[in-house]
């Protein structure tokens, strides 16, 4: 076997990006299309889905699916609808996420449930729902969007950290369980990027601290995540599974 640059291509693959209607998910969806994949997106907001579908060139078969990934039954319906329209999914990206930046003593049960259901429960059941078919076919790649919060704790983000540590555990456990069945499961841990999720919720002093702590002294631009997602979804990473790739501008390298 010799190195082939074409291994980075996603041509001929069908990729689903859950949470693909905004932020990191939108960027990965556009990047996967540029890499040659047939790209499908799923999310809760029809208006946002339609806007990204237009960017993806969605004038042919349906490519945007409205679904609440927090419900296992909804994920089953999503898989059935996609397979009826496009056939099986080759690459799954779990990019759904939410947070609440507030002291743990002030976090309500409803807020805790919303974070864990969106960030962890939905990832597990999306992996198992689409991973089932991948295991049966003997091939597939899953890319979960984790966080630096899966590596260390953050004040005022206890539930978010718990959810992302859970994503790291799911990623490694499923990689160990499904590796011999031809299915790779990896994660990306983004550093600090400005997204719709954190633009208004992240205090200005924390943004300044993020820039100061990064080895590159800046926050990331969303397109800078795409290369990692394409790599992990492609044959170039055929022997990579159970890994979490940090795309953080050297933030964690600078110490805790």
Q: What percentage of residues in the chain have a pLDDT greater than 90?
A: 77
| Enclosing H/E stretch for 14 | strand 14-18
List CB contacts of 97: < 8 A, sequence separation 6 or more.
Answer: 19, 118, 119, 145, 197
List CB contacts of 26: < 8 A, sequence separation 6 or more.
Answer: 20, 41, 52, 55
Clarify whether 112 is annotated catalytic: no
The per-residue pLDDT for 128 is: 98
List CB contacts of 106: < 8 A, sequence separation 6 or more.
Answer: none
How many distinct helices (H) and strands (E) make up the chain? 8, 7
Contact between residue 52 and residue 40 where contact means Cβ atoms under 8 Å apart: no
Q: Which of 80, 62, 188 is nearest to 133 (CA)?
A: 80
The per-residue pLDDT for 31 is: 98
The per-residue pLDDT for 194 is: 78
Reported as a single tens digit per residue, the pLDDT across 162-213 is 999 999 999 999 999 999 999 999 999 999 887 766 677 677 887 888 888 8
Residues of the chain with pLDDT under 50: none
Reported as a single tens digit per residue, the pLDDT across 199-217 is 776 778 878 888 888 888 9
DSSP string, 57-102: T-SSS--EEE--TTSHHHHHHHHHHHHHHH---SEEEE-------S
- Chain mean pLDDT for the chain: 93
Q: Which of 213, 116, 96 is nearest to 158 (CA)?
A: 116
The single residue of 32, 65, 160, 231 carrying the catalytic annotation is: 160
Contact between residue 124 and residue 110 where contact means Cβ atoms under 8 Å apart: no
Contact between residue 184 and residue 229 where contact means Cβ atoms under 8 Å apart: no
The per-residue pLDDT for 135 is: 98
DSSP string, 146-160: --GGGTS--TT-HHH
The per-residue pLDDT for 197 is: 62
Q: Which of 85, 83, 86, 117 is nearest to 100 (CA)?
A: 117
């Amino acid at each position: 076997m010799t190195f082939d640059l074409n291994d980075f291509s996603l041509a001929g693959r069908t990729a689903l990006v859950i949470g693909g209607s905004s932020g990191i998910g939108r960027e990965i969806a556009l990047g996967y299309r540029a890499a040659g994949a047939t790209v499908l997106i799923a999310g809760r907001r029809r208006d946002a889905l339609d806007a990204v579908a237009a960017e993806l060139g969605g004038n042919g078969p349906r490519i945007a699916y409205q679904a609440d990934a927090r419900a296992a039954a909804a994920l089953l319906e999503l898989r059935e609808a996609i397979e009826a329209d496009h056939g099986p999914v080759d690459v799954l990206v779990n990019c759904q996420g939410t947070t609440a930046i507030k002291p743990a003593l002030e976090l309500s049960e409803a807020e805790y449930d919303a974070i864990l259901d969106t960030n962890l429960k939905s990832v597990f059941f999306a992996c198992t729902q689409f991973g089932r078919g991948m295991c049966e076919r003997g091939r597939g790649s899953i890319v979960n969007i984790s966080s630096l919060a899966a590596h260390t704790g953050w004040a005022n983000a206890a539930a978010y950290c718990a959810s992302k540590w859970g994503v790291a555990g799911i990623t490694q456990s499923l990689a160990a369980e499904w590796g011999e069945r031809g299915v790779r499961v990896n994660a990306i841990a983004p550093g600090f990027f400005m997204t719709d999720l954190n633009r208004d919720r992240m205090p200005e002093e924390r943004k300044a601290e993020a820039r100061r702590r990064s080895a590159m002294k800046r926050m990331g631009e969303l397109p800078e995540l795409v290369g990692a997602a394409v790599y992990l979804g492609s044959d170039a990473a055929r022997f990579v599974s159970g890994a979490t790739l940090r795309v953080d501008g050297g933030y964690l390298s600078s110490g805790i």
